[in-house]
């Protein structure tokens, strides 16, 4: 029984590490793209496609997308450099994890659901620990980009 618990904790730690290694560069690239000045709508949409944010719709000069990527629901609403919203919500084992970014700043929660799961709070802490410090593009993120 003890070995099962230890194996389960190791698996959760690996999943948490992989989620963090994906989310930190993914979020950073998205925030930088949303904040980029002098970018055309065409360039913006092309760069979103490069990081696998598809199903883009455009109406009245706004670009909108809702994608499911690696157990995360990613919502983008873009009306220009000073007019955007990004929401990344955890799904399955990360239910309750949420990143909300606007041109005014970023909010990260680990309890953004009625019954958040324990890994949501762990992911919040891990994300904040790693997002604040400089980091390299991780193997996890590079594998994600290379997948077809």
SS (H, E, C) the chain: CHHHHHHHHHHHHHHHHHHHHHHHHHHHHHHHHHHCCCCCHHHHHHHHHHCCCCCCEEECCEEEEEEEECCEEEEEEEEECCEEEEEEEECHHHCCCEEEEECCEEEEECCCCCCCCHHHHHHHHHHHHHHCCCCCCCHHHHHHHHCC
Instruction: Supply the pLDDT for residue 110.
Output: 94
Percentage of the chain surpassing pLDDT 90? 55
Quick check: 87 pLDDT over 90? Answer: yes
Quick check: 144 pLDDT over 90? Answer: no
Instruction: Supply the pLDDT for residue 103.
Output: 85
Per-residue pLDDT band for 10 (boundaries 50, 70, 90) equals very low
Domain boundaries, the chain: 2-146
Instruction: Supply the pLDDT for residue 5.
Output: 39
Quick check: 86 pLDDT over 80? Answer: yes
- What integer best gives the mean pLDDT of the chain? 85
Q: Packing angle between helix 41-50 and helix 2-35, nearest 10 degrees? A: 160
Segment 87-92 shows an average pLDDT of: 96
Percentage of the chain surpassing pLDDT 70? 86
Quick check: 2 pLDDT over 80? Answer: no
Instruction: Supply the pLDDT for residue 67.
Output: 93
Q: What is the pTM of this model?
A: 0.84
């Amino acid at each position: 029984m003890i070995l099962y618990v230890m194996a389960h904790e190791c698996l959760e730690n690996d999943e948490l590490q992989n989620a963090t290694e994906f989310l930190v560069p993914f979020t950073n690239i998205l925030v930088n793209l949303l904040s980029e000045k002098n970018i055309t709508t065409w360039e913006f949409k092309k760069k979103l496609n490069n990081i696998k944010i598809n199903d883009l719709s455009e109406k009245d000069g706004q670009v909108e997308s809702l994608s499911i990527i690696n157990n995360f629901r990613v919502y983008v609403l873009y009306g220009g450099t000073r007019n955007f919203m990004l929401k990344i919500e955890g799904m399955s084992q990360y239910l309750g994890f949420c990143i909300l970014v606007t041109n005014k700043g970023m909010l990260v929660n680990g309890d953004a659901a009625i019954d958040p799961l324990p890994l949501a709070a762990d992911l919040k802490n891990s994300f904040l620990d790693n997002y604040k410090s400089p980091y390299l593009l991780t193997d996890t993120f590079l594998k994600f980009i290379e997948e077809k």
